[in-house]
């Protein structure tokens, strides 16, 4: 159980009730387009502005407004917010855990300076702001099974350190300035139609493509490395539910969310069963093993379930494998 429990962790002074026009930063990564498409079906296509430092493809441009934004360029972001009457932000720009250890300066710039910029803008313009945190915010001294919302957080990656800083700054502005700051600690997110962006949990996506293309996969984690995971559709639907939830439903700014826990060996056994008994996996752990060893095997998300009805639908390794195989096969047709 959490060693510290407090009521009123979410201040509701000064906040508007609804969001109508939303800016998504870092929107061309694994999660952005799916989140934009789901939010557009609720708010209208022209009310959700996708942005990224990268250029979009023509299909993305057809679906709704796009602005090219670098999260470090605070002035341009502020101008976009002001000119488009933005009242909500979903901030996805990030350098993920594995990439961050390879490019530390970039990780500090995007994950720390970028979060500072967007939180400051949200505070000054009274915007609702959602920023995903991660199970990477926990560290080697955190309990690894059913990790509670409130527990020891001493991560040893730049990615995790930036997530803890972002969570604390958001909570601080919520308490001091009434900022409507919301965050979910995601587990590893698994998707069949969008590639992951350089994380420690990427193996759980790569393995499916390798199985379908060559019936063989060399895994960068050891076979018994259990980690918390979630299918992308659940991540998107539950994120939108949380982002649009009436503020009265929330009793804290930051919640754990979780769905499935498995190891590479368990996942590959299920792929053998459902795809091909000839599928072969070998293990060649690299620097990402050290990161994975410090992360939760599962997170306790009971507060998210009771406060705002968090409810992931895909909760077994077998249903995840079946879903991933069908999505990737359909995409390859």
- Binding site residues, ligand AKB, CB under 6 A: 96-97, 134-136, 159, 188, 199-201
Report, in Å, the least distance between residue 147 CB and ligand NAD.
14
174 binds, among ligand AKB, ligand NAD, none (CB under 5 to 8 A by kind): none
Report, in Å, the least distance between residue 189 CB and ligand NAD.
3
Q: Residues 31, 266, 331, 218: is their CA dihedral positive or negative?
A: positive
Structure tokens at 179: 């900022």
54 binds, among ligand AKB, ligand NAD, none (CB under 5 to 8 A by kind): ligand NAD
28 binds, among ligand AKB, ligand NAD, none (CB under 5 to 8 A by kind): ligand NAD
Give the list of residues 6+ apart from residue 221 with CB closer than 8 angstroms, or none: 200, 203, 264, 283, 285, 288, 289, 292
Report, in Å, the least distance between residue 134 CB and ligand AKB.
3
Residues lying near ligand NAD in the complex (CB under 6 A): 25-26, 28-32, 52-54, 69-72, 92-94, 96, 110, 132, 134, 186, 188-189, 196-197, 199, 201
Q: How far is CA 239 from the centre of its chain?
A: 9
By beta-carbon proximity to ligand NAD, the closer residue of 147 and 201 is 201
Other Cβ atoms within 10 Å of 249 Cβ, number? 13
By beta-carbon proximity to ligand AKB, the closer residue of 47 and 134 is 134
By beta-carbon proximity to ligand AKB, the closer residue of 69 and 227 is 227
**CA 315 – CA 318 distance, rounded (Å):** 9
72 binds, among ligand AKB, ligand NAD, none (CB under 5 to 8 A by kind): ligand NAD
Q: Under a CB-based contact definition with an 8 Å cutoff, are residues 301 and 310 in contact?
A: yes
Instruction: Give me the catalytic one of 159, 186, 226, 255.
Output: 159
Q: How far is CA 275 from the centre of its chain?
A: 28
Give the residue among 228, 208, 231 at the shortest CA–CA distance from 328.
208
Report, in Å, the least distance between residue 8 CB and ligand NAD.
26
In 186-214, which positions are buried (b, 16+ CB within 10 angstroms) versus exposed (e)? bbbbbbbebebbbbbbbbbbebbbbbbee
Q: How far is CA 309 from the centre of its chain?
A: 18
By beta-carbon proximity to ligand NAD, the closer residue of 190 and 325 is 190
Report, in Å, the least distance between residue 207 CB and ligand AKB.
14
Q: Which residue is nearest to ligand NAD (CB)?
A: 29
Annotated catalytic, 231?
no
The strand pairing partners of 260, in sequence order, are 229
**Which residue numbers are catalytic?**
159
């Amino acid at each position: 159980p959490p060693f510290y429990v407090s009521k009123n962790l979410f201040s509701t002074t000064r906040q508007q009730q609804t969001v109508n026009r939303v800016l998504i930063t870092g929107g061309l990564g694994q999660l952005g387009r799916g989140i934009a498409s789901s939010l557009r079906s609720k708010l209208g296509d022209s009310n959700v502005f996708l942005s990224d430092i990268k250029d979009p493809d023509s299909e993305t441009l057809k679906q709704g407004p796009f602005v090219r934004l670098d999260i470090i360029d605070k002035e341009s972001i502020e101008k976009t917010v002001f000119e488009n009457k933005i009242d909500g932000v979903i901030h996805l720009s990030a350098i993920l855990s594995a990439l961050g250890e390879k490019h530390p300066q970039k990780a500090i710039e995007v994950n720390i300076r970028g979060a500072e910029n967007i939180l400051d803008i949200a505070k000054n313009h009274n915007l609702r702001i959602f920023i995903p945190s991660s199970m990477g915010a926990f560290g080697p001294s955190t309990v690894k099974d059913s990790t509670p919302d409130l527990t020891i957080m001493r991560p040893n990656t730049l990615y995790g350190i930036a997530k803890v800083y972002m969570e604390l700054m958001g909570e601080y502005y919520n308490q001091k300035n009434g900022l409507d700051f919301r965050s979910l600690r995601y587990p590893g997110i698994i998707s069949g139609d969008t590639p992951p962006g350089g994380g420690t949990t990427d193996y759980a996506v790569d393995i499916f493509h390798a199985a379908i293309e060559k019936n063989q996969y060399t895994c960068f984690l050891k076979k018994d490395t259990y980690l918390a995971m979630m299918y992308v559709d659940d991540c998107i639907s539950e994120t939108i539910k949380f982002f649009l939830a009436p503020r009265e439903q929330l009793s804290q700014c930051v919640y754990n969310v979780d769905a499935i826990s498995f190891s590479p060996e368990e996942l590959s056994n299920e792929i053998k069963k459902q795809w091909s008994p000839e599928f072969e996996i070998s293990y060649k752990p690299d620097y990402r093993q050290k990161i994975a060893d410090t992360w939760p095997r599962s997170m306790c998300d009971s507060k998210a379930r009771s406060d705002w009805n968090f409810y992931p639908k895909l909760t077994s390794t077998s249903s995840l494998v079946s879903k991933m195989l069908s999505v990737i096969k359909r995409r390859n047709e």
